[in-house]
Structure 1
Amino acid sequence: MLVTNEDGCTKVVRKRDVRRYCCSVCKHSNSTRWRFINDAVKCEKCIRSGY
């Protein structure tokens, strides 16, 4: 799983080490890519659609 922070740094997190992330827009919890923007967790799908 990839997690991207606001500063643009991306880190890889093993599936077994993953905290329970949930998108703050669509509430989806099974994404493989996450972004932290303005202290909110968003999935890649919502980021690309402009949320």
Structure 2
Amino acid sequence: MLDKVENIRKLLTARLESTMDGVEVDAICAAISACRDADCAIKRGQFQLAAAKNS
């Protein structure tokens, strides 16, 4: 799942670098931010699952 989120983020970054449209830039930046949030949530969930298994 982390790989999929990372691939999406890379695609969005490439798209961001190729556009000059302000509205599209705002949308892409919001999507990249959502990818970062998803990445953090997945990692936090993995950590919590690992901690629960060890307790």
The TM-score, its normalising length taken from structure 2, stands at: 0.19
- Name the one with the larger helix percent: 2
The TM-score, its normalising length taken from structure 1, stands at: 0.20
Work out which of the two has the higher radius of gyration on C-alpha atoms and give 1 or 2.
Answer: 2
